[in-house]
Amino acid sequence: MTPANKITMSRIIIAPLFFGLFQLASQQVLNVPGSVQIIVLVALLLLFIASELSDLLDGIVARRMNQVSGVGKLMDPFGDVLSRVTYFFCFYQVGIMPTYAFILILWREISMLFVRQLVQLYGQEALPARWAGKVKAVIYFITTILGLLAFLFANWPGLGYPAIVGQAAGLGSGDFDKICAFTLNRAYFQNIFLAIYTVVHSWLLPLSFLVCVIASWYSFALYLKDFLPTLKNHGTR
At 89-143, the pLDDT tens digits run 999 998 889 999 999 999 999 988 888 777 777 666 656 667 788 899 899 999 9
Q: Do residues 83 and 14 make contact, with C-beta atoms less than 8 angstroms apart?
A: yes
Residue range(s) defining the domain that contains residue 103:
3-235
Mean pLDDT over the full length of the chain? 77
What is the Cα 91 distance to its own chain's centre?
A: 9
Model pLDDT for residues 9-58, shown as the tens digit of each residue: 889 999 999 999 998 888 755 566 777 888 888 999 999 999 999 888 87
Query: Is the pLDDT higher at 217 or at 200?
Result: 217
Measured CA to CA, the distance from residue 162 to residue 87 in angstroms comes to 23
Measured CA to CA, the distance from residue 91 to residue 61 in angstroms comes to 31
Q: Do residues 173 and 207 make contact, with C-beta atoms less than 8 angstroms apart?
A: yes
Q: So what's the pLDDT on residue 161?
A: 44
DSSP annotation of 201 reads: I
Q: How many domains does the chain have?
A: 1
Give the containing element (helix H, strand E) for 93.
Answer: helix 70-93
What is the Cα 21 distance to its own chain's centre?
A: 16
Helices (H) and strands (E) in the chain, counts: 9, 0
